[in-house]
Amino acid sequence: MGIDNLIVDEAHLFKNLAFETSMEKIAGLGNQQGSNRARDLFIKTRYLHQNNKKIMFLTGTPIANSLSEMYHLQRYLTPEVLKERGLEFFDDWAKTYGEVVNDFELDTSAQSYKMVNRFSKFSDVQGLSTMYRAFADIVSNDDILKHNPHFVPKSVWGINLSMWW
């Protein structure tokens, strides 16, 4: 019995994929050590890619906390594209598509500010967007309403929701 496809619902639960970087003291990179859950799924997706099988991730929040989450999605879903473009390693990807921004942020006491270097800005947004849209099917609220206008309630607990739709 073989596996032809892998469909992962709530794929954002696997976003903490371990990675190496030479960037030091940079906030916004995410968890470099990763999680066992993410490592386990990564091993499985690598195996499936080697055997030309299909992988589909489903999530409402593909990128939630860190720009590096975009890189991890690509590692899971399109590693061959990263390799073709010389972007297999995070530092190469980060130099191509991201920027470190130096700015003041509130410290943990919320009483004063400190200077922080943070990986928090995309560069070459057009190139990254093109690469992302090659493997991502983005469904907006308008798309949902177009296909099923009764899908979204007009109000919840007496609160008018029309401003969000």
pLDDT score recorded for residue 115: 93
pLDDT tops 70 at residue 151: no
Are 57 and 8 spatial neighbours (Cβ–Cβ below 8 Å)?
A: yes
Band of residue 33 on the pLDDT scale cut at 50, 70, 90: very high
Q: Express as a percent the part of the chain with pLDDT over 90.
A: 63
The set of residues, in sequence order, having a beta carbon less than 8 Å from that of 56 and lying 6+ positions away, is: 5, 6, 7, 8
Question: Could you tell me the residue ranges of all domains in the chain?
Answer: 5-140
Degrees to nearest 5, angle at CA 94 with 88 and 105: 150
Whole-structure pTM value? 0.82
Helix (H) or strand (E) holding 161: none
Estimate to the nearest angstrom the gap between the alpha carbon of 159 and the chain centroid: 32
CA distance 83 to 75: 10
Separation in Å, CA 128 to CA 10, 44, 113:
23, 25, 32
Per the listing, tokens 């892998």 go with 6
* C-alpha–C-alpha distance, residues 139 and 130, integer Å: 16
Separation CA 66–CA 46 (nearest Å): 23
Using one digit for the tens of pLDDT, what is the confidence trace for 93-119? Answer: 999 999 999 999 988 888 899 999 999
- The model's pLDDT over 116-149, given as tens digits with 9 standing for 90+, comes to 999 988 889 999 999 999 999 988 878 877 887 7
